[in-house]
Amino acid sequence: MPELKCHKGVPQYTLEHYEKDFKDRHLVHGVIAKFAKETPDKIAIIDAETNQQVTYAELDRTTTALALQLLKMGFKKGDFFATHLPLLLEHIYLEYACFKLGVIVAPIDLRLKANEVVRCLELIKAKGFAFLGKTPRGDFSELGRAIMQSCPYIECFIQFVAPGEEIGGAISAFVVAAQATQTAEEAMKDPSNSSILKTYMQAASRVKEDDGALVIYTTGSTGLPKPALLSHRNTTCQNMCLGGAFGFGKDAKMLVNLPPSHVGCQTEQMMTTFFWGGTSVILHIFDPEKTLKAIQDYKATTLGQIPALFAMEWRLPNYNQYDLSSLEFAIYGGQQVPKQFLEKLSTMAPKFGTGLGLTETAGFVTYTAPDATVDDIAASIGYDMPVTPMTIRKPMNPDGTAGDELPDGTIGEVCFAGPQIFIEYVNNEEAYRKTVSKEGICYTGDLGYKSEKGLQMVGRSKWVIKPKGYQVYPAQVEDHFCMLADKVAACGIVGAEHEVFSEAIVAFVEKKPNVGLTVEELKEHAKKIASYMRPLCYVIIEPNTMPLNRVAKTDYLVLVEWAKKEVANLRALGGWDKGPIEKD
């Protein structure tokens, strides 16, 4: 067994560790089979909304039965099965049944409208589609009908409704489940002579670790979502690293409350927990109060969320009434946070951490030390591991090769390589080649630099603002205004065209509830940063109105459109670049 070293408190997993120490966990569904044999009665999933508990043996057996039925329905390796569902237990069964056959699962955001869902399906030409019926949040039957009319390539529609309530052309998920049970029972009466069992064994044997398993659509913060295809190898390597870095294990109980269309739910929370033999406590849809109650009732030890979700929980008037003493580790990701956030997080769990996570790398690629302090975590977003090495580089060359590597301390494109790099953007070779170089180096689109304290992020390359020939990274300016912590809840910085400066900065500042905040205060605070970094226009917005994308990050596309309108109004009044130019 290779020796496991540490760097700054972060374990340094290598490819050798993955190939030797975890060689029996390279298939996503193989992880379930492993623990079904070794710890069959261990609880794999607790559904916090129904109190149903499923052991590893039951999970393996149920998903095998469903895989047999999917095989009878005509699904085979390489097919795409799209889902438009919350994180139901039955949704997880369907996913793992697909994995066993080599069918690629493509969960789609529940908040998307019919035309957006059609676009997602069109990109992958899904063969199967699972969707809801009537729920307290709305009736999804009309969406199903719209998909049927627009997507003739879909051969199988499974609707999660009681038998008899499904729309024409669909089959009830409960009927499929009953058929799966019957198929499995018949097969096991005489296994040696069962043709369906023989066909299944052959199909299962053809699933390899480099095959596609899961499509996660990128969030679209810089454009329309793209279907990133992740392999079993991409995913399980990330599971090894994330679980190893933050101390997952067989006794871990991870609360899984993110949407299944997000890499944070699938590969980070749930699959990492399974990889280490722990228990996933699931919520169907995120709810701040249900989250706290699930931690209390099921003694969850680990919680991973984006900062906005933590903030929603902390704002509950009865937050302090919940017993969260079982929490051992809290993970946040998705964006940089102020020190005040970390101080609050430290009161929720004794240990906490973060790192850089990407859809295109199946999740985390940098990690803070598990015993890091508030100051340590505020200083960087952690360190990489040898299995997925990080480099800071010049932009990709026109011929598709990677740009030169830059020395520590120099700002450049944040890049990664290794077995976590995704397979492709499905049916979009051009986009893939703009992201992954010919050498296999993945350009994240983030700008940053390396120091002794780890990776320092400065922003997205797409959103760099260039006023007067300088380069301004939005995060630097945003962090400065967020220092006004008593009055400022959030800040979003974008550039807008300026006839004199080429570009100038527009600041959208969300004030906190029940406080006064003026443009004059913001201008006075801006005097503490370099003049070229100061916004030319300030827009103060009301509490909870900062536009967020589907993963609760600042939606810069919306801010850019808002900025255009603000600039047009200023120009109409003789301002912006139409009046006297202010001196620095």
SS3 364: strand
Is 140 inside a domain boundary? Answer: yes
Q: CA angle 325-302-22, nearest 5°?
A: 145
Is 42 inside a domain boundary? Answer: no
Number of domains composing the chain: 2
Cβ-defined contacts of 287-292 (< 8 Å, 24+): 287/257, 288/312, 288/313, 288/315, 288/316, 289/316, 289/318, 290/48, 290/49, 290/257, 291/255, 291/257, 292/316, 292/319, 292/322, 292/324
Residue with tokens 């689109």: 445
The CATH number that applies at residue 486 is 3.30.300.30
Evaluate whether 143 touches 169 at the Cβ level (below 8 Å).
no
Domain of residue 73: give its range.
53-208
Is 111 inside a domain boundary? Answer: yes
Evaluate whether 546 touches 554 at the Cβ level (below 8 Å).
yes
Q: How far is CA 54 from CA 36, 47, 259, in A?
A: 11, 9, 20
Among candidate residues 87, 89, 155, 162, the one with its CA nearest the CA of residue 121 = 155
Cβ-defined contacts of 570-573 (< 8 Å, 24+): 570/537
How much helix, strand and coil, in percent to the nearest 5, is found in the chain?
Answer: 35, 25, 40
Among candidate residues 436, 437, 446, the one with its CA nearest the CA of residue 414 = 446
pLDDT tens by residue, the chain, 584 residues? 689 999 999 999 999 999 999 999 999 999 999 999 999 999 999 999 999 999 999 999 999 999 999 999 999 999 999 999 999 999 999 999 999 999 999 999 998 889 889 999 999 999 999 999 999 888 999 999 999 999 999 999 999 999 999 999 999 999 999 999 999 999 999 999 999 999 999 999 999 999 999 999 986 444 567 999 999 999 999 999 999 999 999 999 999 999 999 999 999 999 999 999 999 999 999 999 999 999 999 999 999 998 878 988 998 999 999 999 999 999 998 666 778 889 999 999 999 999 999 999 999 999 999 888 998 898 889 999 999 999 999 999 999 999 999 999 999 999 999 999 999 999 999 999 999 999 999 999 888 999 999 999 877 777 778 787 667 878 879 989 999 999 999 999 999 988 777 789 999 999 999 999 999 999 999 998 878 889 999 999 999 999 987 666 788 889 999 999 999 999 999 999 887 756 55
The CATH number that applies at residue 141 is 3.40.50.980
Is 316 inside a domain boundary? Answer: no
Q: What is the pLDDT of residue 553?
A: 78
SS3 359: helix
Is 363 inside a domain boundary? Answer: no
Is 174 inside a domain boundary? Answer: yes
Q: Where are the beta strands (DSSP E) in 512-558?
A: 537-541
pTM over 0.95: no
Evaluate whether 83 touches 91 at the Cβ level (below 8 Å).
yes
Residue 285 CA to residue 283 CA, distance in Å, equals 6
User: Which of 208, 232, 267 is the C-terminal boundary of a domain?
Assistant: 208
User: Which of 189, 208, 227 is the C-terminal boundary of a domain?
Assistant: 208
Amino acid at 205: S
Is 424 inside a domain boundary? Answer: no
- One DSSP character per residue, 389-421 reads -EEEEPPPPTTSPPPPBPPTT--EEEEE-STTS
Among candidate residues 90, 32, 21, 27, the one with its CA nearest the CA of residue 279 = 32
Is 275 inside a domain boundary? Answer: no
User: Which of 153, 176, 208 is the C-terminal boundary of a domain?
Assistant: 208
Residue 25 CA to residue 233 CA, distance in Å, equals 9
